[in-house]
Amino acid sequence: MNEKALSKNLLLIFTRNPELGKVKTRLAKTIGEKKALEIYKFLLNYTKKVTENIACDKAVYYSIKVRENDLWDASTYQKKQQLGEGLGIRMKNAFQDSFAAGYEKVLVVGSDLIDLSEDIIEKGFIHLASNDVVMGPAEDGGYYLLGMKSLHPNIFENKTWGTATVREDTLNDLKDKKVHLLNELNDADVFEDIEEHPAFQHLLK
């Protein structure tokens, strides 16, 4: 039996199809749509680099349409379509499908984190052994990583996605569960998030 078939851990990577005017719209207000698209493509490549060697199964969830010949190699990444209205329902459906497929630990990450690392993702899986939920808090009040061993559907409902209350509201829903918080990171949503970060300087010239 090949090693891949033995993995009980699955990493979900939520992405947006990299199209002009459709990605990093808040960032584009400051630097323009073309530059925002460049930055998002840079972040997609970074996310691939960070995730491709982690010892778990991986699935890329596309926002609009699954692309066959892109940077995500189909021999490493399962390719899926996000389904449902709104981010919460789309994440809930992805987790539900993953548990239905037999995975025991499932983590989701976004694709706009320049400070994401293999170590952070691996710690997410490790901490799930002794916790119900693992969360990577983002500086803007949301989260950049979420991991579970079984579906907690209520955490995906009644949230104002993209606002500063998401993490707090989610943790309130998990009061009776054991939750581990990873290090806080900053995702690249607005110009202030990237203007001083060394990784982006070559793109801002």
Is residue 98 included in any domain, yes or no?
Answer: yes
pLDDT at 31 over 80: yes
For residue 81, what pLDDT band results from cuts at 50, 70 and 90? very high
Say if residues 55 and 35 touch (Cβ distance below 8 Å).
no
pTM: 0.92
Q: Residue 5's pLDDT is what?
A: 52
Q: Percent of the chain at pLDDT above 90?
A: 77
For the chain, how many structural domains are there in total? 1
State the Cα–Cα distance between residues 185 and 113, nearest whole angstrom.
Answer: 8
Is residue 203 included in any domain, yes or no?
Answer: no
Mean per-residue pLDDT of the chain: 92
Is residue 74 included in any domain, yes or no?
Answer: yes
Q: Residue 162's pLDDT is what?
A: 79
Question: Which CATH number is 54's domain given?
Answer: 3.90.550.10
For residue 6, what pLDDT band results from cuts at 50, 70 and 90? low
Is residue 205 included in any domain, yes or no?
Answer: no
Q: Which domain holds residue 78?
A: 3-198
The DSSP letter of residue 199 is G
Structure tokens at 189: 């949503």
- Residue 89 carries which side chain, given as an amino acid letter? I
Q: Residues 126-182: pLDDT tens digits?
A: 999 999 999 999 988 999 999 999 999 999 998 888 788 999 999 999 999 999 999
Is residue 117 included in any domain, yes or no?
Answer: yes
Sheet containing strand 57-62, strands side by side: 78-81, 57-62, 9-15, 105-109, 143-148, 133-137, 179-181
